[in-house]
Structure formats: C-alpha cells, structure tokens
Amino acid sequence: MDRNKIHTIILISGLVLGVSMASYSLIEESNISGYAYAAKIEDTSIPMDKYLQQLEGLAKDKRSPISQKDKEYVLERMIEEELLIKRAIDLGMLNSNPIARGTIVQQMIKTIISENDRYEITKTELEKFYNENKGFFAKSTRLRLQQIYFSDQEFGQFSLSQARKAYDLLEKGENLNEIFSLGSDSALRIPNTLMTLTKVREYIGPSLMNEAKKLDPGSYTEPLKVSGGYKIIVLLEKELAKETELEDIRDVVAAEYRKRMDDSSLRKYLDNLKNWYDISRNLPE
C-alpha cells in the first residue's frame, strides 16, 4: 500500500472517530495542570470531564448500567483517537492534506460562532436591523446589472488604473459593450435579466449587492476593491418592491440577523488571531 493511501486511512479513521477531540487537542492549547485527567499521552492529557461526557453519552444509549468494561472501552477509544491525531500531525497532514485542514477549519468556525446560538435577539435590535435593510428583505425587488472585473492576475499592478480608465469612459457615456470588453474574461457572467437581491448576492456577494441596490438605473459604482482585483458594478434596470411588514417575515429577518452576527464574529476572531501571532508576509512585487 503506497504512502498516500496509508495517510488517507489514518486521516479518515482519526477525523471521523473524533473531530471533537481533534479540535480540542490540535487547536486549543489548554493548561490543565491542577485538573483531573483520565489519561496522558506524552505531553497531551485527556481531561476527566471530557472522558465523563463520553461515558455519559454511552450511558444514555445503553439499557443496562455502565460496567467497568464499558469504562475501559470508552477510555481506550479516546486514547486511540488521540494517538491517531498525533500520528496525523507527525505525518504532516495538517500542512499537506486538504481534507484534514478543511475539517479543522470547519470545526474552528463552528466553535467560534457557537456562542451566537445562545444569544437572544431583542425586539429593538431586530426592528433596527430590519429598518436598515428593508431593501434586502423586499423579496420582489429586482435588479438587472453587470460587473466589470479587473483581475490582478491578468492586469497585475495596472488593475486599478485599468478600472479607472473604464470608469472614465462610463462617465463620458461611451458604449457599454466596448467598456465591458476592457475587463477580465475570468469575470463571472451575470445573467442579463432582472434578479432578486438574494440571487444578486449569489453572483457578486453581499458587499457589492449592497452597493448595487443603492444605484439608480443607468448609474455605476466607482472601482471597488475586491479579492483579486477591482470591480465596477453597472445597474441597468431596477424594479422596486412594495414594502413588507416585519411581522410577516420575522423569522426570515431573525435568520439573516444571526447569519450576519456569525459573519461578524468570525471576522473579529480572525482579525484577533492576526494580532496574537507573528505573521511575516512575503508577497512578490
């Protein structure tokens, strides 16, 4: 069996059996001195409370009382999970295996935003959020737009200057098709039809969608910095919607409020991480 297959077997076994233990062991460097532990594997401890949680879960699934054999079984499985995780680290899977990295990243994201699940949104907060985003929740509001993308990969250091050149041509009223042709071919093609704000967001993202809905038909944004370059959004048509009452869509508004809370929590956490650790960037000129 080749090395890659061995890596994959270890990875799948370890991560499927114990993602929760992985997040604890690999990410959270906990100082548990002074606390009881169920086992130690070199410099890593399995805290007693984690072991008892696993044991409690088994007890709920069993009809008979937990036996000594059950207790030993649970502890051995936790030790094996920890050993698999340690071996995965030794094999460099966190650096080289996208499945391992993706699993850890997703587990961390869930942990970061989990606190928001317990937060109770107040009536005042929800009303304020709704009033500030009425356009977003007007389901029948539709926009027809196009984007002009100037990719850093294609234009290099000239992506912004090319975007400004296109903007100047828009200001002069030049032919739209000719201006669109100045952008990168790699830009995502947006259907030339009226679309709901939700659909617009799928194509250009929430930030650009918010900019687009502020525009009047026939107008356009200045060059906007995006990941990998610059974009200009041109609004061709706008169909306004009748205002929806909050009480009619309260659950929808609350769900969107929580989604944006999660996005904000994750962004704040990532920004903090960048301050907690030393980072050296070596971008090519």
Query: Is residue 105 domain-shared with residue 180, that is, in the same domain?
Result: no
Q: Is residue 194 part of a domain?
A: yes
Mean pLDDT confidence for 271-280: 86
Does 278 reside within a domain? no
Could you read off the pLDDT of 162-192 as tens digits, one per residue? 999 999 999 999 999 999 999 998 788 899 9
Looking at residue 31, its pLDDT comes to 43
**Residues 166 and 232 both lie in one domain:** yes
Residue type, 73: Y
- Distance in angstroms (rounded) separating the CA atoms of residues 244 and 176: 35
Predicted confidence at residue 72, as pLDDT, reads 87
Question: Does residue 230 lie within any of the structural domains?
Answer: yes
Q: Identify the pLDDT of residue 30.
A: 42
- Which of 198, 217, 239 finishes a domain? 239
- In 3D space, the residue among 213, 245, 199 whose CA is nearest the CA of residue 135 turns out to be 213
- Evaluate whether residue 244 is within a structural domain: no
Q: Give the pLDDT confidence of 192-203 residue by residue, as tens digits.
A: 999 988 899 999
Out of 118, 137, 171, pick the residue that ends a domain: 118
What would the two tokens of residue 40 be? 């130690």
Structure confidence by residue, pLDDT tens digits, 1-26 = 455 544 544 554 454 444 444 434 43
**171 and 214 within one domain:** yes
Q: What is the DSSP letter of 282?
A: -
Q: What is the pLDDT of residue 116?
A: 87
CATH number of the structural domain spanning residue 231: 3.10.50
With residue 207 as reference, give the H or E element that holds it: helix 197-212
On whether both 98 and 14 belong to a single domain, the answer is: yes
Residue 27: DSSP 8-state:
I
Q: Considering only 100-109, 131-140, 251-260, which range has the smallest mean pLDDT?
A: 131-140
Residues 99 and 203 occupy one common structural domain: no
The pLDDT, as a whole number, for residue 278 is: 85
Residue 221 sits in which domain range? 145-239
Residues 55 and 104 in one domain: yes
pLDDT at residue 230, as a whole number: 95
Domain-located, residue 101: yes
Residues 109 and 206 in one domain: no
pLDDT tens per residue, range 49-80: 888 888 888 888 888 888 888 888 888 888 88
Lowest mean pLDDT among 30-39, 138-147, 157-166, 265-274: 30-39
Across all residues in the chain, what is the average pLDDT?
A: 83
Asked whether residue 156 falls in the same domain as residue 214, the answer is yes
Residues 158 and 197 in one domain: yes
Rg (CA), the chain: 26
**Residue 284 resides in a domain:** no
Q: How many domains does the chain have?
A: 2
Decide if pLDDT at 205 tops 50.
Answer: yes
pLDDT of amino acid 17: 44
Confidence of residue 125 (pLDDT cuts 50, 70, 90): very high
Residues 104 and 193 in one domain: no
Same domain, 176 and 217: yes
Average pLDDT over every residue of 110-124: 89
Does residue 131 surpass a pLDDT of 60? yes
Check residue 62 and give its pLDDT. 82
Is residue 110 domain-shared with residue 187, that is, in the same domain? no
Question: Six-digit token pair at 209?
Answer: 């969608």
Residue 190 domain-assigned? yes
Alpha carbon distance 55, 69 (integer Å): 12
Distances (CA, A) of 254 to 101, 195, 202, 257: 32, 23, 20, 5
What CA–CA distance (Å, rounded) separates 54 from 19? 13
